[in-house]
Amino acid sequence: MFDRTHTVTDSPYGPLTLVATGGRLSGLYMEGQRHRPPQETFGEPDPAPFARVREQLEEYFAGERTGFDLPLALNGTDFQRTVWNALLEIPYGETVSYGRLAARIGRPSAARAVGLANGKNPIGIIVPCHRVVGATGALTGYGGGLPRKRRLLTFEQAGIMTS
């Protein structure tokens, strides 16, 4: 097992807990997030490995960055990793339905399974699970809570309209 470390950083969406496994970002958890692992699994506190993550998050929240360039450790099943990697392909400020995401990964009848995998995304914001919506465009579940999802989508869409 790789060494794990963590730190907490402030954001406009509340404190974010960043977790690294073997030097790669393996978690970004919001306060009160559903499916958040127990704190004791995050390893020792150490802010040093997270300087680049913090810098890119600050740029994102300032509206200066639309994508992230960080080494990630996506730890999950093969199906979950497939879904999470597909999330990385959703452009900034855009949304996609669970059904369309299922079709993109070659599993058109797996919208519910895609939704479950999306909900267990361990690296929120950076792996943009907030960009997935219901078939009608309605906001549906989000591990960080629907108010945060709405704020993130509004923030990104406003950034596109002003650029």
Residue 68 lies in a domain: no
Residue 50 lies in a domain: yes
Residue 73 lies in a domain: no
Q: Are residues 145 and 112 in the same domain?
A: yes
**What's residue 160's pLDDT?**
66
The parent domain of residue 100 ranges over 78-161
Q: Are residues 90 and 150 in the same domain?
A: yes
How far, CA to CA in Å, does 146 sit from each of 29, 150, 152? 15, 6, 10
Tally of structural domains, the chain:
2
Residue 147 lies in a domain: yes
**What's residue 59's pLDDT?**
97
Residue 52 lies in a domain: yes
Q: What average pLDDT values come out for the chain (163 residues) when binned by 10 residues?
A: 88 96 95 90 94 97 95 97 98 96 97 94 96 87 84 88 53
Q: In what order do the strands lie in the sheet with 24-30?
A: 24-30, 16-21, 4-9, 44-45
pTM of the model: 0.92
| Given 114, 129, 132, 133, the catalytic residue | 129
Residue 70 lies in a domain: no
Helix H or strand E segment including 153: helix 146-161
- Mark whether 129 is an active-site residue: yes
Distance CA 144, CA 108 (A): 26
Q: Are residues 83 and 56 in the same domain?
A: no
Q: Are residues 131 and 86 in the same domain?
A: yes
The domain that contains 32 carries what CATH number?
Answer: 3.30.160.70
